[in-house]
Amino acid sequence: MTRVGLRTFSLVVLIAAPLMAQQTDGRLEQLERRLDDLSRQATEIRQELNRLKGQQPPAPAPQPQPEDLTKVEVVPAPQPAVGPLPTAAATQIPPPQALTDVQTVNNVINPAASKVFNPDTSVIGNFIGRAGQRNPFEFGSDNERPPLGFDEAEIAFQAYVDPYAKANFFFSITPGGIDLEEGYANFVTLPYDLTAKVGKMKAFFGKDNTWHTHVRPWVDQPLVIHNFFGDEGLNDTGVSVSKVIPNPWNTFLEATGEVFSGHVPDVFERRGPNDLFYNAHLKAFRDITENNNIEVGTSYARGALAGAPGGNSQFGGIDVTYRWKPLQRGLYNSFIGRLEAITNHRNDFDRNLKGFYASADYQLDRRWFAGVRVDAADRPIISTEGLAPVHFTDRGASGTITFWPSEFSQIRGQLRRTRYGDVGRSVNEFLVQLQFAIGAHGAHAF
Amino acid sequence: MKRIAWLTVASILFSGSLFAANKLKVVTTTQDLASITREVGGDRVDVTSIARGYQDPHFVEPKPSFLLLLKNADLLEVVGLELEIGWLPPLLDQCRNNNIRPGTPGYLDLSQGVEILDRPSVVNRSMGDVHPLGNPHYWLDPANAVRIAIQVRNRLAQLQPADTAYFDQHLQNFKVRINDANKRWMAQMAPYRGAKIVDYHPSLPNFAKHFGLDIVGTIEPKPGIPPSPSHTLEIINLIKTQHVKAILMEPYFDRKTPDFVAAQTGAKVVVIYPSVGGKPGLDDYFKLFDYDIDVLTKALR
């Protein structure tokens, strides 16, 4: 290239470069404007889409208006109304329905509805383990009560018979077989403030004698109950009538009279048609404050003496129960103190036999309970060889700890020391108990 | 003169007993039912509650002293849904009052006409102490309070027809008052709709539904089962991840676990009273909600 050519090329470049730069700036501005247009269009399209979708633009969510409670009506119940209500509307006679418009009714039949008449059924299992020194005096040989084993299952059936009575059946299944522990009709709608029970039942004597195994706060029976009444307690077939006695002292007073057929193994024996067993109980209950109360009972029982050719046996008893349960902390802490003393007059003894137990149980926490009990009771020994009957005094002391995993199960340990009067030595044992319930078991009376 | 004085005293006493005889004797199982019944029944009813507001209504002792109350009652009102199953049946069997037995006009199960939540389709005791018929704590919904009042009015009018207009007027007054109160309560709770809470026992579903609270966990692993360590750890994690501000508990439960959880998470423990009479001053249904809403809104701030 010549020198003239180079100068011309440089001149063209110098002139053209600004012109090209001006063209590029214009395109950028155009692009920016187009981008702005596109952005605005996108916003408009988004708003249009939102409008079509029914979406509201972001705004504070409105608070729901309170329901007008003056317009609230009851939720229709599945049960029939109790009766016509005395309103003005109810007294107006509605016009007769046109029977030409009647349609069939589509009733839904519940095939399980009739099962509501089945009785409440429950099973309560009771397993007991034992460790420590042998105790043939109370439990027999070790073969009869293994170190750990099934002790009893209580099967209960409870239901209303009709508008007048409620039936209660409690069967006791033990390794020895099945037995009707209680089975009675409870008449709860009698006049004159009366209630009555007819059937096989525990006599209303004191407190412990009325309890089922799962209600008792100990693994075992107190000595006085065991020595005087045996494993099954005062339990017979008969009639029981109770009446509340009105009084001006704001105290619950209830008198109970009972007549039984007269057969309680090793206690009463029915030798003739008139050898019935009678029992009477008077119970007084009073709230001291809303957190504590006291109950005092007296009992008297009489029947033909078992194992003797004649004569009778009479029992007199007194029971006192003090309860403390602060209402607000009642789930976690409570206390029950009990005292029950019994005296027994037998024709074959020249003096009365006596016995008692006293106990205290404290609830440590929602599921933990601890208790102590002291016992003393005479034990009659009847000779089968014609010798004069004798008696010895047994004494005992126990400590218990109980854990309730739930309302329906409990684990209890009991450390027990018993001194038997006839052999003059003590037996130390540790008893452990597991109880659990399934099914619907009616609440027990207080 | 002395004779006249005696006659005067005797006539006053006699007239007093006659006047008392005109009042229906109502026994309720809880103080909440008693409060609403007083609203409807006014001075034509004499209302007594068996359970106190500060005790767990599931676990009332069936003391013989309650038999004396029930023996003279014209009407027994129960919450129902098996809330009272552990203690009311033996009282009814022993009270010698056939007029308040189930199925008679003197027995009123108020669960029959209210909105019930938490009706389980399947239930067994591995699920804890579940109420198979539904959650019985329904009175903690003000709308259900109105439903209770309507049922009470109907039954009082049935038992004492001469006072029907009186009961109608009192029911209407109650509806207006609780409607006004509800507007106030809803306004107080409005900022906290959707707030996540943890309760101790499942007794607040109706309350939570009414005020739009979200119960995300319960201190009890299962109803009636005390808290276990593993479940407590789960609740702590839940509160942290879901940013729960309040743990609601009834006054009769132990604070140990809720306080521990609160210390680990920063959530506040709120003692909420589920019943009228839960503490001094909570004398009626309105005061109960005034108090509970107040403590709850303070905790949720």
Residues B143 and B265 reside in one and the same domain: no
Cβ contact, residue pair B59, A330, below 8 Å: yes
Cβ contact, residue pair A327, B54, below 8 Å: yes
Res. A3 pLDDT band, cuts 50 70 90: low
Residues B122 and B231 reside in one and the same domain: no
SS3 content of chain A, % helix, strand, coil (to 5): 20, 45, 35
Residues B159 and B224 reside in one and the same domain: no
B144: domain CATH number? Answer: 3.40.50.1980
Instruction: Kindly report whether the global pTM for this prediction surpasses the value 0.80.
Output: yes
**B67-76: b (≥16 Cβ within 10 Å) or e:** bbbbbebbbb
Choice between B174 and A144, residue whose per-residue pLDDT is larger: B174
On whether residue A201 sits in a domain, the answer given is yes
Helices (H), A76-183: 88-91, 136-139
Cβ contact, residue pair B64, A285, below 8 Å: yes
Tens-place pLDDT, residues B239-297 = 999 999 999 999 999 999 999 999 999 999 999 999 999 999 999 999 999 999 999 99
Residues B206 and B289 reside in one and the same domain: yes
On whether residue B74 sits in a domain, the answer given is yes
On whether residue B11 sits in a domain, the answer given is no
Residues B219 and B293 reside in one and the same domain: yes
Cβ contact, residue pair B251, A328, below 8 Å: yes
For the ranges A25-29, A323-327, A336-340, B176-180, the lowest mean pLDDT is seen at A25-29
Name every residue whose Cβ is closer than 8 Å to that of residue B39 and which is 6 or more positions away in sequence.
B149, B170, B173, B174, B284, B285
pLDDT value for A67: 85
Q: Which of A284, A267, A200, A185 is nearest to A238 (CA)?
A: A200
CB atoms within 10 A of CB A309: 7
The shortest C-alpha distance from A248 to chain B (Å) reads 12
Backbone φ and ψ for A72, nearest 5 degrees, come out as -70, 135
Nearest to B65 among A186, A285, A367 (CB): A285
On whether residue B4 sits in a domain, the answer given is no
Instruction: Note down the domain range covering B124.
Output: 19-183
Q: Which of chain A's residues have a Cβ under 8 Å away from the Cβ of B87?
A: 443
Q: Which of chain A's residues have a Cβ under 8 Å away from the Cβ of B62?
A: 443, 445-446
Cβ contact, residue pair B252, A331, below 8 Å: yes
Nearest to A443 among B86, B112, B143 (CB): B86
**A69-98: b (≥16 Cβ within 10 Å) or e:** beebebbeeeeeeeeeeeeeeeeeeeeeee
Nearest chain B residue to A68 by CA: give it: B179
A307: domain CATH number? Answer: 2.40.160.10
On whether residue B274 sits in a domain, the answer given is yes
pLDDT value for B207: 96
Res. A324 pLDDT band, cuts 50 70 90: very high
Mean pLDDT of chain B: 92
Residues B177 and B66 reside in one and the same domain: yes
Work out how many domains chain A is built from and give that number. Answer: 1
Cβ contact, residue pair B65, A86, below 8 Å: no
| Dist. CA B57–CA B30, nearest whole Å | 7
On whether residue A257 sits in a domain, the answer given is yes
Cβ contact, residue pair A74, B85, below 8 Å: no
| Dist. CA B137–CA B157, nearest whole Å | 26
- Average pLDDT of the segment spanning A130-159: 77
On whether residue A248 sits in a domain, the answer given is yes
Residues B166 and B206 reside in one and the same domain: no
pLDDT value for B121: 85
Q: Which of chain A's residues have a Cβ under 8 Å away from the Cβ of B123?
A: none
Q: Which of chain A's residues have a Cβ under 8 Å away from the Cβ of B116?
A: 75
Cβ contact, residue pair B161, A250, below 8 Å: no
Domain boundary among B183, B201, B218: B183
The shortest C-alpha distance from A95 to chain B (Å) reads 25
The shortest C-alpha distance from B225 to chain A (Å) reads 7
Count of A–B CB contacts within 8 Å?
143
Nearest to A327 among B52, B151, B183 (CB): B52
Choice between A138 and A271, residue whose per-residue pLDDT is larger: A271
The shortest C-alpha distance from B110 to chain A (Å) reads 10
Nearest chain A residue to B60 by CA: give it: A327
Nearest chain A residue to B176 by CA: give it: A70
Domain boundary among B146, B165, B183: B183
Q: What's the distance, Cα to Cα, between the start and end of chain B in Å?
A: 71
On whether residue A366 sits in a domain, the answer given is yes
pLDDT value for A385: 75
Residues B98 and B164 reside in one and the same domain: yes
Residues B143 and B57 reside in one and the same domain: yes
The token duo for A189 is 């709608």
Tens-place pLDDT, residues A374-417 = 999 999 887 777 777 888 999 999 999 999 999 899 999 999 99
% of residues, chain A, pLDDT over 90: 57
For the ranges A26-40, A135-149, A334-348, B226-240, the lowest mean pLDDT is seen at A135-149
pLDDT of A20 > 60? The answer is no
Work out how many domains chain B is built from and give that number. Answer: 2
Tens-place pLDDT, residues A188-239 = 989 999 999 999 999 999 999 999 999 999 999 999 999 999 989 999 999 9
% of residues, chain B, pLDDT over 70: 93
On whether residue A26 sits in a domain, the answer given is no
Mean pLDDT of chain A: 85
pLDDT of B148 > 50? The answer is yes
Nearest chain A residue to B147 by CA: give it: A74
Residues B104 and B126 reside in one and the same domain: yes
Cβ contact, residue pair A72, B182, below 8 Å: no
| Dist. CA B73–CA B27, nearest whole Å | 6
For the ranges A27-31, A246-250, B250-254, B255-259, the lowest mean pLDDT is seen at A27-31
Choice between A260 and A441, residue whose per-residue pLDDT is larger: A260
Cβ contact, residue pair A446, B96, below 8 Å: no
Cβ contact, residue pair B147, A250, below 8 Å: no
On whether residue A372 sits in a domain, the answer given is yes
Pairing of strands B196-199, B268-271: unpaired
Interface test with A, best of B39, B61, B85, B285 (most A CBs within 10 A): B61
| Dist. CA A93–CA A70, nearest whole Å | 28
Nearest to A252 among B67, B115, B172 (CB): B67
Cβ contact, residue pair B64, A367, below 8 Å: no
On whether residue A154 sits in a domain, the answer given is no
Cβ contact, residue pair B125, A83, below 8 Å: no
Cβ contact, residue pair A67, B182, below 8 Å: yes
The shortest C-alpha distance from B125 to chain A (Å) reads 9
Residues B86 and B143 reside in one and the same domain: yes
On whether residue A212 sits in a domain, the answer given is yes
Tens-place pLDDT, residues A251-307 = 999 999 999 999 999 999 998 888 999 999 999 999 999 999 999 999 999 999 998
Interface test with B, best of A70, A71, A253 (most B CBs within 10 A): A70
Looking at this predicted complex, what is its ipTM?
Answer: 0.86
Cβ contact, residue pair A443, B62, below 8 Å: yes
Backbone φ and ψ for A396, nearest 5 degrees, come out as -155, 165
Element spanning A287, H or E: strand A277-287
Tens-place pLDDT, residues A84-98 = 445 544 445 666 767
- Torsion angle, alpha carbons of B164, B168, B174, B179, to 10: 160
Nearest chain A residue to B142 by CA: give it: A69
pLDDT value for B167: 97
Element spanning B261, H or E: helix B256-265
Instruction: Note down the domain range covering A399.
Output: 190-439
- Average pLDDT of the segment spanning B8-17: 42
| Dist. CA B123–CA B273, nearest whole Å | 28
Sheet holding B246-249, edge to edge: B214-218, B196-199, B246-249, B268-271
pLDDT value for A226: 93
Tens-place pLDDT, residues A61-80 = 566 678 889 888 888 755 44
- Average pLDDT of the segment spanning B72-81: 97
Tens-place pLDDT, residues A160-187 = 999 899 999 999 999 889 999 999 999 9
Residues B170 and B201 reside in one and the same domain: no
Domain boundary among B164, B183, B202: B183
- Average pLDDT of the segment spanning B77-89: 95
